[in-house]
Amino acid sequence: MQFGRLRRVGMLATLLALTFVSPALATPALVIDADSGQVLYQREATDNWYPASLTKLMTTYVALSAVRDGRVTLDTPFVMSERAASMAPSKMGFRPGTEVTLDNALKMLMVKSPNDIAVMIAEGVSGSVENFADEMNATAVKLGLKESHFVNPNGLPDDRQVTSARDMAMLGRALYKDFPEEAGLFGIGALQLGNRYIPTHNGLIGRYPGADGMKTGFTCAAGFNLVASATHGGRRLIVVVLGAPTARERTAMAIALFERGFGQGGGLAGLFGGGGSGLGLVDNLPSPGIGPAPDMRSQVCSRRGRAALLAADEEDMRAAEPQPVASAGRGGLARGLTAAANPTDPVLMAAAPAPHFDPVPVFVGPKPGWTGPVAKAKTEPFAAPESASAYAASPDKQESGEPGQAASAPLALQGAVKGAKLGSLRASHARFVKKREAKPIEAEAKPIKKIAAVARPRKPLAHPAAEKQSR
């Protein structure tokens, strides 16, 4: 037994060395108590970093704020624009003109992490991506985020879009605190769209006991990012891991941090570098302000093909044959842990077979009987750009094509799906952010522009799943 414990400690020490010990390769990590905001552990927590799809937590916060303010409702249909449909993967692939309720769109955003849906939400709430980015930055100021600046709602590569582990932990905490009724949104295990089963990218859900949310992110420049929450005995912790080299290591690092935070790590605590207890509140960590983020491309993507990177991003949910895990409620939360995982070993937990969840159904189209307004982008000429790819090994060596895109929606919904074209990373956002390039990063919040939804009479529609589509 002692040998087994030493072996597990040795495995964890090897895993964590790259992130927590080596100064040259150290990447940010943070553990906080969600209720008090007390920092339990931190390593480079205020360093600027590319958020990748962690951006979508802010997109969700702004969208839920618009619901709270009465600008839209969760049942409001949002319309897919040409601009939104042109986004690079990950995406749903719906054709321009497709309508999706905000409730369904937010579920897709948290589980599948589609970049087209993020832009659709931004345009429906604020009229344009640029206006929505202004709202994101105003919200960042209101929440006290000090290292974050946003220019798009999905986290596709842009050197100006940065954040920090501290800011992401504060944002996660604010989502739970300000919108407690939507907490289940961040812990959905899988979606069912027509005949397609769509699992979460969050490798902790169903593997680590008590894991109940939030969001993953990945680009070559950012590495594998994660904001995660877990609850033990009524106490919720939030963990942030940025820049992990693989999805599986990201999961194992987060599990190890939760073990430390919940006081279950025993002899594992000494393996961590960085600060320990008595670090004060997360709001009060010294801030360097907004600045450039390091590029992790050489450590994460330089020797991997695009297909390998796509597989790596899905690695957590394809580790082995799925094992049934009971789930319930809007979030489809797993109520058990795969038997193959040893509950004291982060490495084995992260490599355990992927659980199978009872999926939460999502739909395309307005809610049956909806006669209210729809939310969509302001009408303006649009020229489809060449799309940025999160998986580019370098700006000059981006692979083309979109393997598997035809399967991104069920056959019954093929009329709403189209392919997307990958292009040059350097030209990705040239048109979208043209009028913002001359703007300096502003420290003060701008007045939020309220964009009225576009009213359109609608006849009641028959829908075979009318009862199932309600919230």
Catalytic residues: 53, 56, 113
**At 280, which helix (H) or strand (E)?**
none
Kindly write down the DSSP assignment for every residue of 190-254, as one continuous string: EEEETTEEEE-S-TTTTTSTTEEEEEEEEETTTEEEEEEEEEETTEEEEEEEEEESSHHHHHHHH
Cα distances (Å, whole numbers) of residue 328 to 188, 237, 357 = 10, 22, 9
Q: What is the 3-state secondary structure (H, E, C) of 74-94?
A: CCCEEECCHHHHCCCCCCCCE
**How far lies 451's CA from each of 102, 130, 131, 190, 306, in Å?**
16, 13, 9, 32, 39
- Could you give the angle at which helices 115-126 and 55-68 cross, rounded to 10 degrees? 30
**Backbone torsions φ then ψ of 280, nearest 5 degrees:** 85, -165
Q: How far is CA 12 from CA 8, 15, 255, 341, 354, in A?
A: 6, 5, 11, 15, 21
* Other beta carbons less than 10 A from residue 426's beta carbon: 14
